[in-house]
Structure 1
Amino acid sequence: MKKLIEIAALAVLTAGALSAGVQAQPAPTVGTGAGFHDPRSPIKPLQEREGVLAWALLSSVSTKVEKNKLIPVFPAQVRALDKQKVRVQGFMMPLEPGDKQQHFLLSAVPTSCAFCVPAGPEGLIEVRSKQPVRYSLEAITLEGQLSVLSDDPYGMFYRLTDGQALKP
């Protein structure tokens, strides 16, 4: 799954840049940002808000290779968020069919392709919500307990449990 996320993120970046007439940039690596927001997207990018965890902080993670595995190296500020109640905003990526979701990914950038992952693991949060959350193309804000994951079998860096959707 880790490799799939990396490949999908690279494909989204490359396709978006080429179709927008943007000169290709060097291939991104995991741990270099929260994802690529296509400038042609009708969906506005996220704006940082007071009291809401910033994706710039979450994406400040770096990685190292250890025993053929990609291991996240979290700054102290990010490690301090482990098991803390936080508010995050982002774009929903459903993992199951239906218009209401209790298990989904939250992304720092909207998807530009139904089959593509818009960011690497530093730009995604796996969410398990208390109540189903209605799918929306617009950004949503959630509150829940954040886990900072050092060795997730699926390659995720963050998980939000007991999530609750907040009113915009």
Structure 2
Amino acid sequence: MAAPEEALRQRRRGDAAPETGSPPAPPRGPAGRPGRLRAGTFWLTRIALLRALAFVYSVAFLVAFRQNKQLIGARGLLPCRLYLESIRRHYHGRVGWDALSHAPTVLWLLDWSDMDSTLDALALLGLGLSTSVVLTGCANMLLMAMLWALYMSLVSVGQVWYSFGK
């Protein structure tokens, strides 16, 4: 019983020669760790998918930047400030979990005195982040979550104009 356990330990350490029926060991990197870019890792698919998603975000934020003032701005067709105030009145003046779940937006935390510039800032921040992902191909979970949160902030106050995005 001791011999199979010892052979298993040697195989895990890499001391034993591979058996004839076993697959070859993955290539090792400079520090003895498995190499990162090898067949079956899907690194190219990940980069292409993240760039494509960032491109969609950049188009969406560009469209939002061009149209937000006319649609949901301070003097727009359906001002988002009035929408947020009506939600606040509905929940008795408190902005708690109920109001946040009704309209999940970072606008609850920002100043509403100049809503046009606030909406432009959200759209430009999202456009800048998504364009950097498109150009560099570098993205992580935090960056993609920020893009989602920024776009969700615009969609949730967009009312009729953004109802397709919910």
Interval containing the TM-score (normalised by the shorter chain): under 0.3
Please report the TM-score for the alignment, with normalisation by the length of structure 1. 0.25
In terms of fraction of residues, the more strand-rich structure is 1
- Look at both structures and tell me which one has the larger radius of gyration over its CA atoms: 2
